[in-house]
């Protein structure tokens, strides 16, 4: 029953973002990440934020899930912030005590960095919330297709991912069964020191491994029997189709790219007063 | 006619690398176009090897196999042969490659380079052929075993084979799933003219075929129509197979003087019995052997479950209530059966018996909620097992688990230690620390002896080197080594051949007599419950539907069928007899049933 929860992050509801082609979403995410680091002033970053907010609204993503993903990197954020604030050099000294010196540039730089990481994680979470692992695999396979020309086994990679995804719930069920069976024979996984606990895992891991091999062998036979040869000469049933939504998303991103580039150039003619404070190093 | 044979095997031999005995030693047979052939044989008789040889997954050491005139041993034919001969394997979980049904069904056609649009059509056709068209976008891991297996059949059908081989494809399914798959196969044979090779160890399935061959130790020992094969009762016994229960009933009736020919079809046997009755001028008769209900209040309950509810993944979108208020009482010394199809909540129920799933009150963090005025306090479940109160946090749960032995489904899959002796000793060492080496060894020896294994022979072997049946015995020994008072077994006979099943049930009776006071089995084999249990409970949709002695429980034949359960064979005969005017109720074991029929027969004679 654990398999219901553990199956990735995918949040199965219907929304604009859900019905986008996975390739669109993958490319958009890549573009977005690049733009985050290209944006060098608060206006272009605000443009990114606007697009992100639009994406969140278009995805019907539950707010709690996004927050939970951010919690995961809270420590990382705090750590980077502290390091940057104290170690970043600059011209305008704001605070100084013994060896600690905080510069204005340091604060601004840290602010930008945190916002960028914050946006990056939110955007990636949005992708996994709105795209099933199967669609992600299909999207990746399609995007990586050019690599087949340099003999990279894109198809095999996609099949491996697909099979792995398929077997996750099966193996989780199996693990639960084995744990229950060994517990019934008095196995104790909760007490003792680290070494003891690792040792207690053996009665779970060995049967699991044996079973995984048995399953792999049977699956191999079943695949062979269904005419799988491992050669790349096969057709694909699943076809990703771009729709009007993808065009809208593409236009939005084109606008964002143009916006960020223009704002990068003209920001300080729009808000000249901000120049002194805001332009990071 | 040779051209009409789609498969021809001549003197085929095969030995697995590293093994001494041959898996197949000189097998010769052929399969005609459009034929429905069933292959039966004990575990390890070479049935599965045969299936794998037929489409080149294995290569024969000697002899010749030709499929549609092509030699299987020539590599260039492999792809063409696999296109025309499809195999469905045993485990429904190990055949799918994708997480979405239609993607999985598409796998075969993709491999042979079918165009996209045609694949779409084939998916539609194949899913319709197995009656799963509504599940095109479903996830296999959420389907039942029977549904998964039908998807596997669809995945093979999508390649459009002319021959379909089923390699024990029903062995891991419950009766409902089995019926679903078999119905599909029969329809394919009748309506699409598909050639079927059905490898099975369910005799009821084998007899649906046009022709049956019997394998024993790698040789074909019998071949003929199912009727011819099953007439040969004694021979089948020597080949480690058992006659279906119905043949035993017919034999017993013949001994008692009823000249029935015997049939594998319960309705036909009923008609034969009726013919005998009418030959004697008996047109109608009535006998009710239903035992009177016992005064239950007077009994001391060994297991007492009240108001048990359980919900998985509470507060998530996937929350599922597995148990919806179960009351169950099992008396000391009973051989108790729990019946229910997959998903009825039986695994959840038995995991409560030794607190693998603890009651909420027994959890450390549990606090009693304050009762609001005007709102009745929630009903809390309670379980008592022997001297253990499972609602109490302070209960010694380790001692509880030592005295409630739990044998899960396919227990051989939990074996892990380097030697059999160490594996069996695992539970003992966990529960009673500080036992000396000698004491441990003595206990291991006793429990191995109890399950019918010779300590000196197997103790130092790796459990992974044993045969399937032996592994299961070792796994059972590893549970009974603590000498539990109650032994709970989930589908103890699942996946075994008829003889293996019989032996396991005999073993359980022996354990019940000499080792554990109370035995509880979970089963969906109605004959097994009817023949063995003192009482049984039917679990359906998280509730106890009925709980009674089998003779009275199975009186509700029709209702059980509507729950997706089977009924014992005796009931099927009795039901047809009832329609004809001979009413015999209240007996469900084959012995009681044939005695009842004979009593009716003679009773009239005396009068």
Minimum CA–CA partner of A165 in chain B? B99
Contact call for B95 and A219, based on CB within 8 A: yes
Minimum CA–CA partner of B159 in chain A? A226
Checking DSSP bridges between strand B211-216 and strand B219-224, what pairing results, if any? antiparallel
Token digits for B9?
A: 């095997």
- What's the pLDDT tens digit per position in B87-108? 999 999 999 998 889 999 999 9
Contact call for A184 and B52, based on CB within 8 A: no
Residues on chain A touching B406 (C-beta within 8 angstroms): 180-181, 184
Whether residue B605 has pLDDT greater than 50 = no
Smallest Cα–Cα separation from B523: which of B371, B394, B368, B337?
A: B337
Q: Which of B89, B109, B417 sits opposite A221 (nearest CB)?
A: B89
CA distance B547 to chain A (A): 26
Contact call for B413 and A180, based on CB within 8 A: no
Rg (alpha carbons) of chain A, rounded to whole number: 25
Count CA atoms within 13 Å of residue B333 on its CB side: 2
Contact call for A237 and B110, based on CB within 8 A: yes
Whether residue A257 has pLDDT greater than 50 = yes
Name the band, by pLDDT with cuts 50, 70 and 90, for residue A274: low
> Which among B101, B107, B311 is the top mutation candidate for probing chain A, defined by the most A β-carbons within 10 Å of its own β-carbon?
B107
> Among B98-102, B187-191, B193-197, B257-261, which is the least confidently predicted range?
B257-261
Q: Which residues pair with residue B513 across a beta bridge?
A: none
Percent of chain B whose pLDDT exceeds 90: 38
Mean pLDDT of A96-119: 83
C-beta of residue B84 within 8 angstroms of C-beta of residue B163: yes
Residues on chain B touching A166 (C-beta within 8 angstroms): 96-99, 140-141
Contact call for A227 and B155, based on CB within 8 A: no
What residues have CB less than 8 Å from A188, skipping those under 6 apart?
A: A200, B430
Name the band, by pLDDT with cuts 50, 70 and 90, for residue A3: very low
- What's the pLDDT tens digit per position in A193-216? 888 888 888 999 999 999 999 999
> Among A88-92, A110-114, A223-227, which is the least confidently predicted range?
A88-92
* Assembly ipTM: 0.87
Residues on chain A touching B116 (C-beta within 8 angstroms): 235-237, 239
Whether residue B2 has pLDDT greater than 60 = no
CA distance B194 to chain A (A): 17
Token digits for A272?
A: 């000249």
CA distance B481 to chain A (A): 10
Q: Provide the pLDDT for residue B299.
A: 59
Minimum CA–CA partner of A183 in chain B? B356
Q: Which residues pair with residue B538 across a beta bridge?
A: B339, B546
Mean pLDDT of B581-590: 81
What are the phi and psi torsion angles at B191 (to 5°)? -90, -35
Percent of chain A whose pLDDT exceeds 90: 21
Checking DSSP bridges between strand A93-97 and strand A100-103, what pairing results, if any? antiparallel
d(CA B451, CA B439): 19
CA distance A2 to chain B (A): 8
Q: What is the 3-state secondary structure (H, E, C) of B522-553?
A: EECCHHHHHHHCCEEEEEECCEEEEEECHHHH
Q: What is the 3-state secondary structure (H, E, C) of chain A?
A: CCHHHHCCCCCCCCCCCCCCCHHHHHHHHHHHHHHHHHCCCHHHHHHHHHHHHHHHHHHCCCHHHHHHHHHHCHHHHHHHHHHHHHHCCCCCEEEEECCEEEEHHHHHHHHHHHHHHHHHHHHHHHHHHHCCHHHHHHHHHHHHHHHHHHCCCHHHHHHHHHHHHHHHHHHHHHHHHHHHHHHHCCCCCCCCCHHHHHHHCHHHHHHHHHHHHHHHHHHHHHHHHCCCCCCCCCCCCCCCCCCHHHHHHHHHHHHHHHHHHHHHHHHHHHCHHHHHHHCCC
CB pairs below 8 Å between A and B: how many? 163
C-beta of residue A73 within 8 angstroms of C-beta of residue A120: no
Q: Which residue has the tokens 């998903």?
A: B343
Minimum CA–CA partner of B89 in chain A? A222
What are the phi and psi torsion angles at A151 (to 5°)? 65, 25
Residues on chain A touching B138 (C-beta within 8 angstroms): none
Smallest Cα–Cα separation from B197: which of B228, B156, B235?
A: B156
- What's the pLDDT tens digit per position in B205-226? 888 899 999 998 889 998 999 8
Give the dihedral of Cα atoms B335, B341, B342, B346; nearest 10 deg. -40
Q: What is the mean pLDDT of chain A?
A: 83
- What's the pLDDT tens digit per position in B356-389? 988 888 877 777 776 677 777 777 888 988 888 8
CA distance B414 to chain A (A): 5
Q: What is the mean pLDDT of chain B?
A: 86
Give A140 or A233, the one with higher predicted confidence: A140
Q: Provide the pLDDT for residue B553.
A: 84
Q: Provide the pLDDT for residue B3.
A: 55
Contact call for A134 and B111, based on CB within 8 A: no
Q: Provide the pLDDT for residue B44.
A: 81
Please, what is the angle between helix B175-191 and helix B116-129, to 10°?
Answer: 120
Name the band, by pLDDT with cuts 50, 70 and 90, for residue B111: very high
d(CA B196, CA B186): 9
CA distance B191 to chain A (A): 23
């Amino acid at each position: 029953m654990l398999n219901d929860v553990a199956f990735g992050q995918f949040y199965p509801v219907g929304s604009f973002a859900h019905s986008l082609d996975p390739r669109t979403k993958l490319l958009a995410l890549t573009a977005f990440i690049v733009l985050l680091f290209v944006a060098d002033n608060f206006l272009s970053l605000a443009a990114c934020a606007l697009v992100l907010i639009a994406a969140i609204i278009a995805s019907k993503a539950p707010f709690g899930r996004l927050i939970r993903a951010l919690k995961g990197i809270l420590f990382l954020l705090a750590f980077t912030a502290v390091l940057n604030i104290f170690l970043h050099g600059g011209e305008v000294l704001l605070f100084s005590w013994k060896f600690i010196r905080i510069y204005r540039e340091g604060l601004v730089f840290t602010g930008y960095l945190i916002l960028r990481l914050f946006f990056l994680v939110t955007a990636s979470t949005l992708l996994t919330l709105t795209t099933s692992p199967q669609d992600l695999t299909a999207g990746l396979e399609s995007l990586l297709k050019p690599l087949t020309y340099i003999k990279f086994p894109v198809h095999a990679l996609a099949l491996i991912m697909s099979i792995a995804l398929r077997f996750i719930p099966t193996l989780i069920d199996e693990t639960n069964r084995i744990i229950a069976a060994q517990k019934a024979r008095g196995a104790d996984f909760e007490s003792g020191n680290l070494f003891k606990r690792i040792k207690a895992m053996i009665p779970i891991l060995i049967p699991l491994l044996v079973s995984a091999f048995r399953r792999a062998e049977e699956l191999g036979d079943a695949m062979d029997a269904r005419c799988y040869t491992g050669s790349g000469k096969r057709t694909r049933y699943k076809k990703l189709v771009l729709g009007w939504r993808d065009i809208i998303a593409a236009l939005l991103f084109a606008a964002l790219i143009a916006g960020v580039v223009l704002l990068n150039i003209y920001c300080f003619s729009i808000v000249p007063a901000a120049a002194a404070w805001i332009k990071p190093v | 006619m040779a051209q009409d044979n789609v498969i021809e095997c001549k003197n085929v031999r095969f030995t697995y690398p590293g093994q001494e005995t041959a898996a197949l030693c000189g097998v010769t047979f052929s399969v005609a176009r459009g034929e429905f052939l069933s292959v039966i044989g004990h575990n390890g008789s070479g049935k599965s090897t045969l299936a794998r040889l037929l489409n080149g997954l294995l290569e024969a050491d000697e002899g010749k196999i030709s499929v549609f005139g092509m030699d299987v041993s020539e590599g260039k034919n492999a792809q063409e042969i696999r296109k025309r001969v499809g195999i469905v394997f045993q485990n429904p979980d190990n055949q799918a490659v994708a997480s979405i049904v239609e993607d999985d069904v598409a796998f075969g056609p993709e491999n042979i380079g079918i165009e996209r649009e045609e694949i779409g059509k084939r998916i539609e056709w194949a899913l319709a052929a197995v009656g799963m068209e509504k599940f095109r976008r479903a996830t296999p891991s959420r389907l039942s075993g029977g549904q998964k297996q039908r998807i596997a059949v669809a995945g093979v059908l999508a390649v459009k084979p002319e021959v379909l081989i089923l390699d024990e494809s029903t062995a891991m399914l419950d009766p409902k799933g089995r019926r679903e798959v078999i119905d599909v196969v029969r329809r394919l044979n009748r309506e699409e003219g598909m050639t079927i090779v059905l490898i099975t160890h369910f005799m009821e399935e084998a007899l649906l075929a046009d022709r049956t061959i019997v394998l024993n130790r790698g040789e074909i020992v019998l071949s003929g129509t199912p009727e011819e094969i099953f007439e040969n009762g004694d021979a089948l016994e020597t080949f480690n197979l058992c006659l279906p229960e119905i043949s035993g009933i017919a034999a017993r009736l013949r001994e008692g003087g009823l000249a029935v020919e015997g049939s594998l079809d319960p309705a036909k046997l009923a008609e034969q019995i009726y013919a005998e009755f009418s030959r004697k001028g008996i047109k109608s008769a009535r006998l009710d052997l239903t035992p009177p209900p016992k005064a239950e209040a007077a009994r001391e309950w060994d297991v007492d479950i009240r108001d048990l509810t359980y919900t998985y993944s509470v507060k998530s979108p996937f929350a599922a209530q597995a148990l919806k208020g179960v009351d169950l009482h099992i008396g000391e010394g009973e051989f108790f059966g729990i019946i229910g199809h997959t998903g009825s909540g039986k695994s959840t129920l038995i995991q409560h018996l030794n607190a693998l799933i603890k009651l909420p009150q027994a959890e450390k963090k549990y606090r009693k909620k304050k009762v609001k005025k005007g709102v009745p306090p929630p009903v809390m479940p309670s379980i008592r097992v022997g001297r253990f109160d499972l609602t109490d946090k302070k209960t010694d749960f380790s001692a509880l688990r030592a005295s409630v032995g739990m044998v899960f489904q396919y227990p051989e899959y939990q074996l892990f230690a380097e030697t059999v002796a160490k594996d069996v000793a695992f539970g003992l060492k966990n529960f009673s620390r500080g036992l000396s080496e000698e004491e441990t060894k003595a206990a291991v020896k006793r429990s191995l002896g109890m399950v019918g294994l010779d300590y000196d022979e197997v103790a130092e072997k790796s459990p992974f080197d044993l045969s399937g049946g032996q592994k299961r015995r070792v796994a059972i020994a590893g549970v009974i080594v603590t000498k539990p008072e109650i032994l709970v077994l989930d589908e103890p006979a699942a996946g075994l051949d008829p003889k293996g099943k019989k032996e396991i049930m005999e073993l359980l009776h022996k354990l019940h007599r000499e080792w554990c006071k109370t035995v509880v089995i979970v089963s969906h084999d109605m004959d097994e419950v009817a023949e063995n249990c003192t009482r049984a409970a039917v679990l359906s949709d998280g509730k106890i539907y009925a709980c009674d002695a089998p003779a009275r429980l199975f009186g509700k034949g029709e209702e059980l069928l509507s729950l997706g359960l089977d009924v014992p064979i005796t009931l099927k005969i009795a039901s047809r007899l009832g329609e004809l005017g001979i009413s015999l109720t209240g007996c469900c074991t084959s012995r009681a049933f044939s005695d009842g029929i004979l009593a009716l027969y003679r009773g009239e004679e005396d009068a």
